[in-house]
Amino acid sequence: MLRLTATTLVASCLPLLTRAQVFSLSDLKWTLRNQNGSIVVPGSLPSQAHLDLLNAGVINEPLLGINEYTERWVVNDNWTYTACLTPFMQSYKKDASEKTFLVFYGIDTIANITLAGHPVAWVNNQFRRYTYDVSHYLDSPLGDDNNLTIALESAWYYGLNVTARPDAEAFPNTVDVTTSDNFEYPNVRQWIRKIDDDFGWDWGPAFVPSGVYKPAYLVTLSDSASFSELPENPTYPRISSSILLEETSIDIYNWVLNVTFGVRSVKSFEQPTVTLSIPELKLTSQSLELDSIPADAETTTYISVNWSIPDGVPERWYPYNLGTPKLYNLTVTLDPSPGEGNGPSDVAITQTITTGFRTIELLQTAYSKEEMASRGITPGDQWHFEINGKEFYSMGTNIIPFDPFYARINPEAARWVLESAVKSGQNMLRVWGGGIYQPSDAATDGGLYDFYSLCDELGILVWSELIFSDTLYPINAFLLESVEPEVRQNVRRVNRHPSNVQWAGGNEIEGIVMNANTSLANGTHYLDEFVYLFQDYLHDIVLSETKSVPYTDCSTTHGVLSLDPYVLRFANGTPGYIYGNSERYNYDATQAFNLSTYPVSRFVNEFGFHSMPSFYSWEEVLENLEDFTFNSTVVMSRDHHPPAGSLAWPNPNAPQGQYQMSSAVELWLPTPGTSDTNQTFAQWCWSTQLFQSMNMVAEIAWYRRGAGMGEHNLGSLVWQLNDIWQGVSWAAIEYSGRWKVLNYGLANAYAPVVIQPFWMPENETLTILATSDRWETVQGSAQLTWYDWSGDVLNTSTTSFSIPTLNNSLIYEGTGLATVLPSGYNANDVWLLMNLSARADNKTVTSESYFTPVSLAQANLVDPEIAVTPGDDYTVEWARGLGLDHPYGTVGYFMDTTTGLPSNGFYLIPGIDHTLRFVPNVELSTVRDPNPADFVVRSLWNNTHV
């Protein structure tokens, strides 16, 4: 025991002995207290008040039951983190040549910072890195105060105080116009630089957290001290003895590699240099001269250099479905004081930064007359991306924050979501502008988990957005002086990532201001403010920091009149022309498969329909047996669609959202109802997911078809990929990592070559197309087979096809049910199986889809007599509308052992078995060796039969 204690003591001292110049504030002993001192508990860093209260047993898990409501009192209090600096001061020596910096990578959000009794700063922006010279405070503490204190103000009350000021701008919401979408905590988020959905959204909770949610450090520099060499890529700030390197930006454009450093230095350096090398390419620059570095500890000095790379030397980075996401390690050595020798001086800082070479463009100018004539394109503007000079089809989803509390995001959970996107055929993710600036990686700026670096590695394109969403914003110097460094820091940080494709100014705001402009008497005032902020101010900031990616004003936009100068189009267009991009949300289930209601658009960046999480996800948060029903109070309290717009609880509008799901199931699927209440609830949950997937797959097919039509549609991004809690949402992946039916649907809908039906009920026309997103012509064959519901073949046909680049091939077209259906059969008694086999990318690709001439609620289904043979794999025999569910506590997906692709939610035919394998994620699963008997088979028959 004594030996163990001694070993532990030595280990705990190592950070102080070997990292005296970089001290992690996580190593301090923190306390958390509320404003009146009635609650005092151990704190931690990085953390947030809810998490420390949870760890202390003051509150229960916030995501459990109705705790979003019962724990609102946490939002209504102010919370203070305090730590004694004695562990740091034991290694700190007063020295006139020394400077100590306090570095915060993320404070959420409104806080007063004091050190040794001295006020350091008041901060009000969650998305900024803050650095302060605190040397003089450490040298002269007030009295016996040896503490670091971070006093956090309730963001909700701060917002109320700001909006109560007589000079606060008004944002009216009327019957005709909404200038600010409110969810739970109303009318404040546009005044606070904080995650928008912290105040509530229609797919998530409202906890309005506060805390130091990213790592923080004390960094000591000296112009005379010796320097102990640190790891090349530490998880803490990079320093030499006299320089704090706050950031390194790598921006690659036209094969020019721009490197920008942000530094603070305690001494001046007149002739600093940088040396760059890419060892794999055997490329090394000369010592490139930089501007001088002043002795300035108060502000950040930026110095830049360009290095030209021969075009033909590096292999270009591509998204995984179009090529290889090739990455290179770039070695960067900043030498403030180069000497005469061959190597860098002892004050040099060397980093290895992973990056890639690619060009990305967003084409927004008008199609030429020649293109319109030769390709049959509808007049108007382009709106699509090109990678390395080639247009391609963007297919993917939208990302929201992974957890209501950033400080506890599990890196493995984030990785799983991104890997799941790849497994389901997605090549682009849109980082929604109401959430968080996603991190580069776990180390850079205290990111805690990998995002952009993982997208670089996996070959996923990322559409990035500045954090402005669904409201108009006040234009004043106070807001702008906070926003400018926020935007600059984040753009510079993301520059090095070849996965990034653009910066959009915000989410869905252009449409709001266009409506305000025409509906309010002073509407032009709001339009002028929007133009200033999103057309001019943010545009100029972003493009001053990057030359490698474009800027657009908004996620959903009518496009531009001009790119240089940047002038937005708004409503200035010619009728019948197509401009910008679009989105679709239609909660009238009767219109779910009405193709005439789908946008005819160049790019659709949002479309979705909500569904329940699985029964197993409900088990994670429901506490009582009576809660396990579709419209129980607790279940409905976790449906925030449409939003309450206030703090009313449970959401008074939840019945509307519940009805949208239940009416969709009742209209298109057999209505769940059995003698087993748990089975009924589970089938309701599954059926809402099945409808969601059917609806999204139909829309994706329509938009992908558009690549070869007049609209030349080259993008569809489903809302949304991931969940932030266990509740009603539009997600394809649940909070635990469990795939909904939708993510399997995406794997089929986003396959390289697909076969899909298009039914026009008004004239009873069925069109079947094979669609390809490949850059080469694809050839193959399609088989159409009609079955009755007993699984008997009624007729079959095979058609060969050839699909040009990004286009379609007609497989079948018929008008009138008498022509379409097998002779002598009723629509209620038959269904059509469509499958395809083709050669693409030097391999065989397949696709399968289904057409039922009537709703499955009206089809004359028969008992599927499902047989399952469990084992290492699961062989399933004969069913229709079938899906498998893996047990509680497991995370993974089902894979077809024949194709190697994700598979779930399919039709089966007698004599044609499907063998599936469950591929677990062991890191995320709490049950790592599930009993095969606990896997559940679901079919539409189970909606009405036990």
Q: What are 869's strand-pairing partners?
A: 875
Q: Is 314 helix (H, G, I), strand (E, B) or coil?
A: coil
H or E stretch at 718: strand 715-718
How far is 679 from 939, CA to CA, in rounded Å? 12
Catalytic residue among 153, 246, 391, 508: 508
Structure tokens at 178: 């909404």
How far is 671 from 691, CA to CA, in rounded Å? 12
Indicate the residue type of 292.
Answer: S
How far is 515 from 797, CA to CA, in rounded Å? 52
Q: Find out whether 251 and 546 touch, Cβ atoms under 8 Å.
A: yes
What is the distance between the terminal CA atoms of the chain, rounded to a whole angstrom?
Answer: 59
Q: Report the candidate in 744, 769, 943 with the shortest Cα–Cα distance to residue 856.
A: 943
H or E stretch at 80: strand 79-84
CA 723 vs CA 417, 607, 617, 726: distances in Å: 10, 16, 11, 7
Assess whether 61 carries a catalytic annotation. Answer: no
CA 12 to chain centre: 37
Q: What are 33's strand-pairing partners?
A: 40, 80
How far is 542 from 539, CA to CA, in rounded Å? 5
How far is 569 from 553, CA to CA, in rounded Å? 11
How far is 588 from 422, CA to CA, in rounded Å? 31
- Count of other CB atoms within 10 angstroms of residue 166: 4
How far is 587 from 697, CA to CA, in rounded Å? 16
CA 821 to chain centre: 43
DSSP at 27:
G
CA 886 vs CA 444, 674, 723: distances in Å: 36, 22, 18
Structure-token match 């968080």, residue found? 436
Q: Is 759 helix (H, G, I), strand (E, B) or coil?
A: strand
Catalytic machinery residues:
508
